[in-house]
Amino acid sequence: MKGGLHSMAPNAKRAFLTTVVLGVVATAIYLLAVEPAIAALSRERARLEGLRDSQRRMTADLGSAGTVQKTLEELEAEMKPFAAARLDPLLGSFAMRAKSMLDPLITSAGLMDVEFSEEADRKLPTPLPMPKQLYKRAAVRIAARGSYQAIVSFLLMLEKEFPLVSLQACQIQSQQNPARQSVSMILEWPAKGAQSRK
């Protein structure tokens, strides 16, 4: 091919130039369109796989939601007696709250002339690490009159209805009328204390 492109027949020259042009166009199309599309497709596949992993994790979490809900309900059932026994102030008074909770038991037991008053609180030992919410035992004094049977009946109902309430002191002063014995009780209730700074 001494003359090169100039010595080629016109048909061969056109075919050669067409082949070169098509090659350049194909290369440009590959570099400008196909290769970026392949890279984008690869990125989308990786993203799709990540989404599938997330979906699998979410499906597994949803599958265990029933178990978590059941565990939560069991914990709430276990905590219910503690929440019911905790004494929260009524209008700033533990004695008023105790009265509102104990009036039905007092009436049922048959105690009379009942008076409520607050005693000094007793702080509970603080565990480490210190919890944010601290607790104490709020002491409420109850002075009343009634028979021995009424006093015992009240204490039995108290123990059944409020198992976390403890009897700190009980003093009975004997009276001539057996139906009107004087009794003074100090009850200790779990109660919220101050919040720590932690």
Per-10-residue mean pLDDT of the chain, 198 residues long, equals: 63 78 81 80 87 85 78 78 74 90 94 92 69 77 94 94 89 88 92 65
Average pLDDT, rounded, for the chain: 83
- 189: CATH: 3.30.70.60
Same-domain check for residues 55 and 100: no
Same-domain check for residues 35 and 101: no
Q: What is the tens place of the pLDDT at every residue in 24-52?
A: 888 888 777 778 888 888 888 888 888 88
* Cα–Cα distance, 137 to 87 (Å, whole number): 9
Q: Which long-range contacts (CB under 8 A, 24 or more apart) does 86-95 make?
A: 86/164, 86/189, 86/190, 86/191, 86/192, 87/138, 87/140, 87/189, 87/190, 87/191, 88/191, 88/192, 93/118, 94/118, 94/138, 94/140, 94/189, 94/191, 95/140
Tokens encoding 190: 């779990």
Same-domain check for residues 101 and 146: yes
* Cα–Cα distance, 181 to 158 (Å, whole number): 19
Supply the pLDDT for residue 35: 81
Centroid of chain to Cα 76: 10
Whether 44 maps to a domain, the answer reads yes
For 17, the domain range is: 7-82
Same-domain check for residues 70 and 155: no
Supply the pLDDT for residue 127: 66
**Tally: H helices and E strands in the chain:** 4, 5
Element (H, E) at 172: strand 166-173
Q: How many domains does the chain have?
A: 2
Same-domain check for residues 146 and 170: yes
Supply the pLDDT for residue 186: 94
Same-domain check for residues 69 and 113: no
Alpha carbon distance, N-terminus to C-terminus of the chain: 92
Supply the pLDDT for residue 78: 76
Same-domain check for residues 123 and 67: no
Of 62, 82, 102, which one is at a domain's C-terminal end? 82
Supply the pLDDT for residue 144: 95
Same-domain check for residues 183 and 100: yes
Whether 74 maps to a domain, the answer reads yes
* Cα–Cα distance, 192 to 198 (Å, whole number): 16
